[in-house]
Amino acid sequence: MELCIHDRGSGSRAAPSAEDPYTKSYCDLGVHQSMLRDRERCQWYRNAIEQVLKERPGMVVLDVGTGTGLLAMFAARAGARKVYAVESSRMASLAQMNVFDNGMSDIVDVLHSRIEDVKLPEKVDLIVSEWMGHYLLHESMIDSVIFARDNFLKEEGTMLPSSARILLAPVSAERVWRDKVEFWSDPEETWGLTLHAVHPVAVEQMVSSPMIVRVDETDVIELPQVLWECDMYKITPAEVRKIAKSMTFAVNQTMRGACIWFEVSEDSSNSVLDTSPSKPETHWKQTLGKCVDVMDALINNDGAVMFPEEVLPSFLPSGKVSCVTEMSRVHGTRQYNLMIDLKPVPEERKDS
């Protein structure tokens, strides 16, 4: 069933002639409901917008990907002189209605268009956008925000968020393992019947591809390291096509993969939206990355990627694991291939 929107008041402008699958997906109200229910997300944006506009009231604001119009209306309520709210999906009409119903039509101008096709009558003081996807870059909306910055932001303008970074840490993923794998061997879950045949398939599915899950803080077995970071005032599209980094972690217990999450910041106030396992859950959750090319000796009989305590001295004499992570954008799509390659770090030779 397609979303049917009826006009009310002054309609949104310049509707695109067609919607690609990504744009069309944002007509699903469930997507917007999950974002509105994410209190960490909404409170961070509301507080950051209010702080920026408190310091510089009367700003002209551009909201890239306004959706329901939430951030645009936050800006209007906080004292913006004008807000241009750009939305490429047909949610633009609903955003226009929401703006009208909140008495903000004189401040917020909803534009039904891709940001790349928009023509604004003036430069803006502030660009705000909730562009982040899973593991930060999923959906590749950052390209549109970069375009908006290069074409519409004043020289001394503000980006919100103003910086971002991706973090990675090795995890035991005990809860996920119990839920996704051990479930099939638990007679209480399988109504007293034996479903062991499913077990190896469950293992394969868990270790063969990334999963978007909530990882428990207690399952993080080593301090995280920064995989990638960017300054939103300087980042270019070329810099987000491919990300690769090698890191080394100390491992002294069972490891079933690597957990990835992100942070974004409003640097002038040191305000951070943190999606880590140690913080309240957000709709982004975390990404449990797949692990490939692991030495056979480090894979137990169930096929799970592990470094059990009993094999650590033999196969991890250094007690360290090399983690090479690569994110590469799939050509012509908004998706990324995510690869995590784990290998034991050889023990350092000591001169005799």
**139 given a catalytic annotation:** yes
Catalytic pick from 87, 130, 222, 263?
Answer: 130
HEC profile of the chain: CCCCCCCCCCCCECCCCCCCHHHHHCCCHHHHHHHHCCHHHHHHHHHHHHHHHHHCCCCEEEEECCCCCHHHHHHHHHCCCEEEEEECCCHHHHHHHHHHHCCCCCCEEEEECCHHHCCCCCCEEEEECCCCECCECCCCCHHHHHHHHHHHEEEEEEEECCEEEEEEEEECCHHHHHHHCHHHHCCCCCCCCCCHHHHHHHHHHHHHCCEEECCCHHHECCCCEEEEEEECCCCCHHHHCEEEEEEEEECCCCCCEEEEEEEEEECCCCEEEECCCCCCCCCCCEEEECCECCCHHHECCCCCECCCCCCHHHHCCCCEEEEEEEEEECCCCCCEEEEEEEEECCCCCCCC
180 Cβ contact partners less than 8 Å away, ≥ 6 residues apart: 202, 205, 206, 211
CA distance 105 to 68: 14
Phi, psi dihedral angles at 253 (to 5 degrees): -160, 175
Catalytic pick from 139, 222, 263, 266?
Answer: 139
**130 given a catalytic annotation:** yes
CA distance 345 to 312: 11
Question: Hey, what's the torsion of the CAs at 29, 34, 37, 41, to 10 degrees?
Answer: -120
Residue numbers annotated as active site: 130, 139
